[in-house]
Homo-oligomer: A and B are copies of this chain.
Amino acid sequence: MMSSDQIDTKTRILDTTWNLLESGDKAVRMSDIAKAVGISRQALYLHFPNRAELLVATTRHIDAVKNVDARLAQSRSAASGIERLHAFVQAWGGYIPDIHGISVALRAMRESDKAAAMAWDDRMLAVRHGCEAVVRAIAANGDLRSELAEQTATDLLWTLLSVENWERLVRDCGWSQAAYEQTMRETTEAALLASH
């Protein structure tokens, strides 16, 4: 419409998709997104080949806007393993609310859409790498519980910090974000650290 059209249609689509996924328990069909953006359903396919790729692009968009990389990188600068654990729990745990909506949508497509499943798994693998680094730092400090192999500890931390667990505690059980972060800090500590 306008000359340089305020912001890119592609960006408007991504923002709108994000909003719809965030604020809603509804289904979020392609037609819903189109209507919300103010374009035709078919126009969506001019920008994204299919729903899965639109969702994946939305996660990348959120990552960029929210600057996840920077947030997670911060935890890498902590001195001790324990501080690193705390920083990581806070950084990642604080990011989950932002990606919760899209997480639900992508996971719902798991069964029917291999691409969506792989895209989500790939994102989660990045989180796993973060967990791995934290565990290594704890182990380097000699604070890892002796019964736990590093790999096992990584699996465990990764599992404790899953989006699904956040959903259950914050959304289903009604915990505040602060309560989630505190209890997760304590629980991951209790699970991983030697009581020394």
Q: Which residues of A contact B (CB under 8 A)?
A: 27, 104-105, 108, 110-112, 147, 152, 155-156, 158-160, 162, 164-165, 168-169, 173, 175, 179, 183, 186-187, 190-191, 195
CB A33 to nearest CB in B, in angstroms, measures: 15
Q: Report how far A164 CA is from B164 CA in the complex, Å.
A: 7
Find A159's partner among B104, B105, B165 (CB 8 Å cutoff). B165
For A152, the closest partner residue in chain B by CB is: B183
The number of times this chain is found in the oligomer is 2
CB A170 to nearest CB in B, in angstroms, measures: 10
CB A160 to nearest CB in B, in angstroms, measures: 8
Q: Report how far A79 CA is from B25 CA in the complex, Å.
A: 43
Question: Could you show 13 A-B contacts with beta carbons less than 8 Å apart?
Answer: A27-B111, A104-B111, A152-B179, A152-B183, A155-B173, A156-B183, A156-B187, A158-B173, A159-B173, A160-B160, A164-B164, A164-B165, A190-B191
